[in-house]
Structure 1
């Protein structure tokens, strides 16, 4: 019978999984409706967890990939990925920053719908989080994230701006 072995214990790079929910914090016609359940996987092939100082932390980001699902027709589904940097404030509290890209299925130019007009399918995505570790495995973080095309493609650039909570399990 096969027995599950955590990837980190087996020398793997799979580091953490987070399940979250966000909601739009934009105003007016740029606001998405509904909530956005998400899952994010973090990989640590560069050994971010073993970095000793700030310089090493900056040179050893984790890699993240995930997806967010819209619960309303006036929201955008996303598949995203990028790099993440986690910094311990104390043993229990941490802050995290990430940057990368996302592909979405939201409105690009439509004038007859409410919700953000995004201009192109591929957007830059960045996020920040503040979290609390309950123990060596479980954590809870408050997040804010933003995606836009930074005026690099034609059309509107309302962007996606969301905030929420995520429950994480570190392997």
Structure 2
């Protein structure tokens, strides 16, 4: 069963990327837009996200899936200029939970969003993640020796807004210690997420 999950997740991820890329025509990309969701939401939270990620494909702990949940907080202010608006990030809190008992993590950081059109957008995020994975020199052959905790965490997404409130994203997330600990193989997950903007 685990051996079938990786090709299925990979196919879904590539299909999502192809669908999202088809939405961007040359005319759409000529005028960048300011970030579409509300700059200052009704409350403290601006967006909730959830999805399924393939867990570290093609490396140790591969062959299982992760459940990803994330909260993004409203921007404190929204500049009118699109380039300046991109520079103001949203704070995020999230977790990536492995369904097979391998490495899971909780994380926090900053998310920057840029709109190519009113539908198509890209994101990058950076922060830190605490995990329950192995950190010692000697670990089981099916586990990753991540060196230490916390780790640096980065992610990138390409997204499409289905409606004013709903969006779908193809996401890649990576955690590693940047060589600051004795072992640094890193862990990379990818998959699909849904977002709901308030």
Asked if these proteins are the same fold (TM beyond 0.5), I'd say yes
1:38 to 48, 65, 68: 68
Gaps of 5+ in 2: 1-39
Tell me, yes or no, if structure 1 residue 52 matches structure 2 residue 44: no
> Normalising by the residue count of structure 2, what TM-score does the alignment of the two structures yield?
0.74
> Normalising by the residue count of structure 1, what TM-score does the alignment of the two structures yield?
0.85
Tell me, yes or no, if structure 1 residue 104 matches structure 2 residue 137: no
Q: Are residues 148 and 164 of structure 1, via their aligned partners in 2, closer, same or farther at CA, if it must alter by over 3 Å?
A: same
Tell me, yes or no, if structure 1 residue 92 matches structure 2 residue 119: yes
**Which of the pair is proportionally richer in strand?**
1
State whether residues 51 and 193 of structure 2, in contact with CA within 8 Å, keep that contact through their aligned partners in structure 1.
yes
Q: Give the superposition deviation at 1:117.
A: 1.2
1:113 to 141, 151, 154: 141
> Number of paired residues?
158
Structure 2 counterpart of 1:164: 191
Give structure 1 regions of 4+ aligned residues with deviation exceeding 4 angstroms: none
Aligned counterparts of 2:129 and 2:53: Cα–Cα separation in 1: 16
**Which of the pair is proportionally richer in helix?**
2
Gaps of 5+ in 1: 1-6
Aligned counterparts of 1:149 and 1:51: Cα–Cα separation in 2: 37
Q: Give the superposition deviation at 1:152.
A: 1.0
Q: Give the superposition deviation at 1:52.
A: 2.6
